[in-house]
């Protein structure tokens, strides 16, 4: 269990990166608190796995330092860093029994056999493979194999951190939920520092205290699920978190007035926007009110998703999504208003705050 500091980490897979674009991972400078549960969220290829492998030591960063509890571990091997990591696809030692698979990381570290037995039995029960302990791992199904992988990650209780690289991809939805709750429970019980990579926002938001959103090789926002929802600091976060994502409308800012096509909205503050920047207004579909007053929209389609309706409409020539309650009515001449507190202004994709 440790506090992990990433100091100005950058990574490029090719030799001699020339421009910023050559870096798969752009500068990351961040502290992971001891005992924190973090989710690294982002689309495929955004550098999540790269960052994870740099923390575990499978990859040497091109630049920067990694500190565990203030101690520089950049040059240390994975084994010396004492990290557990679970991979996306099951890795099992298929000539060994399920029990031996789980005991493997402990025996490699010369843990006394009595402790090995105690830990392995505990983990086997947790992943629900009690009856399989003495069977060879070869004949198991994919999700049983992944449970073994997961179990091997959890079996050591002295690790500095446990890293999960989309570990539940191959597990079926029902089991996913159970395993995730067990991970969460384990986290509360032992206080491991956990970093969980995923591209599934539900998984990220339910697992983590803090979600780190990555996009195109850089961290675009670190925050609690509520912060990501209410104040996305980058248009990507707005789009990626939430279903449907945030509405982004091209806007012209003049003082505290925002012009959207022919309509204008007055803000209670004046965003400081550099001239020439591409400015947008972001509003989540949950905060768009559909009624008889406000700005004109044209409704194209209504999707009923059970407890809510999603209205797909056109506003000032741009598509806009509106979330309507189940019994919400669509008036004959539909108009919208935006909840003023939920409006975010973006300049060149980055949020311009009240304070800026």
Partner 1 sequence: MDRTWNNKAWFMVLPVLLLVAFSAVIPLMTVVNYSVQDTFGNNQFFWAGTDWFVKILHSDRFWQALGRNLLFSAIILSIEIPLGILIALNMPKKGIGVPVCLVLMALPLLIPWNVVGTIWQVFGRVDIGLLGFTLKALGFDYNYVNDVFDAWLTLIVMDVWHWTSLVVLLCYAGLVSIPEAYYQAAKIDGASRWAVFRYIQLPKMKRVLLIAFLLRFMDSFMIYTEPFVVTGGGPGNSTTFLSIDLVKMAIGQFDLGPAAAMSLIYFLIILLLSWIFYTVMTSSDEQA
| Residues within the interface to partner 1 (CB under 8 A) | 53, 56-58, 77-79, 83-85, 87-89, 91, 93-96, 104-105, 108-109, 138, 149, 152-153
Shorter beta-carbon distance to partner 1: residue 97 or 308: 97
Shorter beta-carbon distance to partner 1: residue 110 or 301: 110
Q: How far is the CB of 47 from partner 1 (least distance, A)?
A: 17
Question: What's the CA gap between 353 and 184, in Å, rounded?
Answer: 33
- Give the strand order in the sheet containing 194-198: 83-86, 161-165, 194-198, 37-41, 210-215, 218-223
DSSP string, 189-250: HH---EEEEES-HHHHHHH-SEEEEEETTEEEEEE-HHHHHH--SBHHHHHHSSSS--EEEE
Question: What's the CA gap between 74 and 85, in Å, rounded?
Answer: 17
Q: How far is the CB of 316 from partner 1 (least distance, A)?
A: 49
DSSP string, 268-286: SS-----TT--EEEEE-GG
Residue 130 CB neighbours (<10 A): 11
Shorter beta-carbon distance to partner 1: residue 96 or 267: 96
Q: How far is the CB of 44 from partner 1 (least distance, A)?
A: 16
Q: How far is the CB of 159 from partner 1 (least distance, A)?
A: 10
Sequence-ordered list of residues with C-beta below 8 angstroms from that of 52, at least 6 positions apart, any chain: 40, 85, 163, 165, 195, 197
Q: How far is the CB of 261 from partner 1 (least distance, A)?
A: 51
Q: How far is the CB of 88 from partner 1 (least distance, A)?
A: 8
Shorter beta-carbon distance to partner 1: residue 105 or 245: 105
Question: What's the CA gap between 15 and 287, in Å, rounded?
Answer: 47
Shorter beta-carbon distance to partner 1: residue 82 or 337: 82
Q: Which residue is listed with tokens 């100005």? A: 8
Distance of CA 301 to the CA centre of its chain: 30
Question: What's the CA gap between 183 and 198, in Å, rounded?
Answer: 14
Q: How far is the CB of 94 from partner 1 (least distance, A)?
A: 6
Shorter beta-carbon distance to partner 1: residue 108 or 224: 108
Contact 241, 229 (CB under 8 A): yes
Shorter beta-carbon distance to partner 1: residue 193 or 221: 193
Question: What's the CA gap between 114 and 120, in Å, rounded?
Answer: 10
């Amino acid at each position: 269990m440790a506090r992990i500091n990433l100091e100005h980490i950058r990574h490029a897979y090719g030799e001699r990166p020339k421009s910023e674009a050559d870096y798969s991972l752009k500068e990351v400078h961040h502290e992971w608190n001891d005992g924190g549960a973090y989710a690294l969220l982002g689309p495929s290829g955004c550098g999540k796995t790269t960052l994870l492998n740099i923390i575990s030591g499978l990859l040497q960063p091109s630049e920067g330092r990694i500190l565990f509890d203030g101690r520089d571990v950049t040059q240390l091997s994975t084994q010396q860093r004492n990290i557990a990591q679970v991979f996306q696809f099951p890795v099992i030692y298929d000539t060994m029994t399920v029990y031996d698979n789980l005991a493997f990381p402990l025996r490699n570290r010369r843990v006394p056999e009595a402790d090995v037995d105690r830990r392995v039995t505990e983990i086997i029960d947790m992943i629900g493979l009690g009856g399989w302990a003495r069977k060879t791992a070869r004949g198991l199904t994919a999700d049983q194999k992944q449970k073994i992988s997961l179990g091997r990650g959890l079996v050591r209780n002295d690790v500095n951190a446990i890293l999960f690289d989309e570990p539940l991809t191959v597990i079926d939805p029902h089991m996913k939920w159970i395993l995730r709750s067990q991970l969460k429970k384990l986290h509360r019980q032992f206080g491991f520092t956990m970093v969980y990579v995923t591209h599934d926002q539900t998984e990220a938001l339910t697992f983590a205290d803090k979600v780190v959103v990555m996009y195109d090789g850089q961290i675009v926002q670190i925050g609690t699920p509520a912060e990501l929802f209410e104040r996305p600091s980058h248009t990507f976060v707005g789009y990626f978190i939430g279903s449907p994502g945030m509405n982004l409308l091209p806007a012209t800012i003049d003082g505290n007035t925002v012009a959207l096509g022919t309509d204008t909205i007055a803000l209670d503050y004046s965003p400081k926007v550099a001239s020439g920047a591409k400015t947008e207004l972001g509003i989540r579909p949950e905060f768009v009110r559909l009624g008889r007053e406000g700005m004109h929209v044209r409704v194209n389609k209504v999707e009923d998703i059970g407890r809510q309706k999603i209205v797909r409409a056109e506003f000032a020539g741009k598509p806009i999504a509106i979330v309507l309650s189940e019994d919400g009515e669509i008036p004959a001449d539909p108009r919208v208003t935006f909840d003023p507190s939920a409006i975010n202004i973006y300049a060149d994709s980055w949020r311009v705050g009240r304070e800026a």
